[in-house]
Amino acid sequence: MAGICWQLVQLYLPYSLSLLIVVYLITYIVYGFDRYLGQTVESSTERINHQMGYRSIMPVIFVISIALIVTLLIDKGTIVIISALLLLLIGISYTLFFKGLTKSVVGFKNYYVALTYVSIIIYTAIYHSAPLNSKLIILTMFFAMRWFINTAFCDIKDIAQDKNEGLKTLPVVLGQKSFLFTLGAINALSVIPLMVGVATGILPPSILFLVIVVPYYYYYSSLINNKKTDLQKITNVWADGEVLLWLVAAL
């Protein structure tokens, strides 16, 4: 997902394979670290058993990955390296310090994840020594809303478990019907930054291809009404599959 986003952001920035690898490694470490410390609360017993098979080597993998990140960035300067490590720290801080807030702040995880991914977009500009201009701001607003929609929607499959754990996710607090209505409204509003960008000449008209994400969301969210549909499939395939539309737009 991060790599596809970079191609969109790089409407005015040069593409970099090393950046793509660094972002992948940071994402891998953040999610791997969360799984490493939180295996006992995973919803899938099968996944827990699978992860236990390589749990002992995970710290080594983390260290090697961080070393590789620094190596790939060594010629970019101190600021770029520190910014990458700061981005990594922001990611793992959720697991280390802020996870408990999901029991007191409604939808906290969704806000945090969305803001973390937005930080990656800002890091792209830092990596290329590019100015934080209006293009970047508009794309940041759009992707922040899309990531929020995605992470919030995926919580719908864990309503029962989250209730038992006392987590205040949006689906738990609002209820499924009100939650989907609210997310549908945010979905419609998410493309407004793109439209403003095109209307003001900041973004090219071709960026409006991304408006297709609006009906796409309404389609896969409607699948929930079909009792025969697997929620895991809707979230892991249909919802996460939105990034393929980003790829088409990038190309």
Res. 200: pLDDT tops 60: yes
28: helix, strand or coil = helix
Cβ atoms within 10 Å, residue 188: 11
What residue has token string 């790599």?
3
Cβ atoms within 10 Å, residue 228: 5
DSSP letters spanning 56-68: GGHHHHHHHHHHH
Tell me how many degrees the CA angle 161-165-167 measures, rounded to the nearest 5.
Answer: 95
Residue range 2-250, CATH number: 1.10.600
The answer to whether 134 and 202 are in contact (CB under 8 A) is: yes
Q: What mean pLDDT is reported for the chain?
A: 87
Q: Where do the structural domains in the chain lie, given as residue ranges?
A: 2-250
Res. 88: pLDDT tops 80: yes
User: What DSSP state is assigned to residue 11?
Assistant: T
| Rounded distance between C-alpha atoms, residue 43 and residue 232, angstroms | 12
DSSP letters spanning 78-124: HHHHHHHHHHHHHHHHIIIIIGGGGGTSTTHHHHHHHHHHHHHHHHH
Q: Which pTM value belongs to this model?
A: 0.84
What pLDDT was estimated at residue 71? 94
Cβ atoms within 10 Å, residue 137: 15
Instruction: Kindly compute the dihedral angle of the four CA atoms of residues 132, 113, 146, 72, in this order, to the nearest 10 degrees.
Output: 50
Give the distance, in angstroms, between the CA of residue 1 and the centroid of all CA atoms in the same chain: 8
Give the tens place of pLDDT for each residue, 40-68: 444 456 666 666 667 788 899 999 999 99
